[in-house]
Amino acid sequence: MKTCCPYKLLKQARSLADQGKDIVLEGAQDLQEKVSSDLVPGVEHAVDNMRDQFHEVKKHSEKSLKEAAKQVKKQSTEKFGKPAPKRGRKTLLFLVLAAAAACAGYLLYRRSQPVDDPWAEEYWEDVEVSEFDPEEAAEKAQDKAKEVAQDVADKADQAVDAVKDKLDK
């Protein structure tokens, strides 16, 4: 079999794929125009109606909530009197500030401690370092490149066979 034949088939398949792409793009554009002309105005109108209704309900609910809050406050002051000032917030603030000061003190204490133990063994002297071999790395890279090239060639052959099968049908 000649080597030029698969290339002709590949060119034919590419031109057919480009024609199919153009047809699909035209159909998608027509569908987009239809959706934008038919559905978008209806959705916009529905959203505007919902927004208006929401604002009306919001106004009425805010007014009624304010009135209810006034009534509850009035009745609670009549029944229970004015509440006594609470000391809980001051205590909580003091505790938070004390905790923040304790954290800052602990961090300063930890920073002032030595990082290395002066009496520890010198562990870094026993480490063996492997040396980099560029020839071995080059061989590995060549092997990997050959594997990838073989995989690409196999995939190309499969694609050519698939195009041949489709053209035969």
Residue 32 has pLDDT above 60, yes or no: yes
Tokens of 108: 């300063």
pLDDT score of 1 more than 50: no
Q: Where are the alpha helices (DSSP H) in the chain?
A: 4-80, 88-112, 134-168
Q: Is the pLDDT of residue 69 over 50?
A: yes
Considering only residues 5 and 21, tell me which one the structure prediction assigns the higher pLDDT: 21
Q: How many domains is the chain partitioned into structurally?
A: 1
For the chain, first and last CA: distance in Å?
A: 20
Residue range of the domain that includes 40: 17-81
* Confidence band, pLDDT 50/70/90 cuts, at residue 4: low
Q: Is the pLDDT of residue 130 over 80?
A: no
* Number of residues that make up the chain: 169
DSSP state of 85: P
Q: What is the pLDDT of residues 140-151, one digit of tens each?
A: 899 999 998 999
Domain presence at residue 29: yes
- One-letter amino acid at 122 equals E
- Mean of the per-residue pLDDT values for the chain? 83
Residue 64 lies in a domain: yes
With respect to residue 118, please indicate whether it lies within any of the assigned structural domains: no
In a domain, 68, yes or no: yes
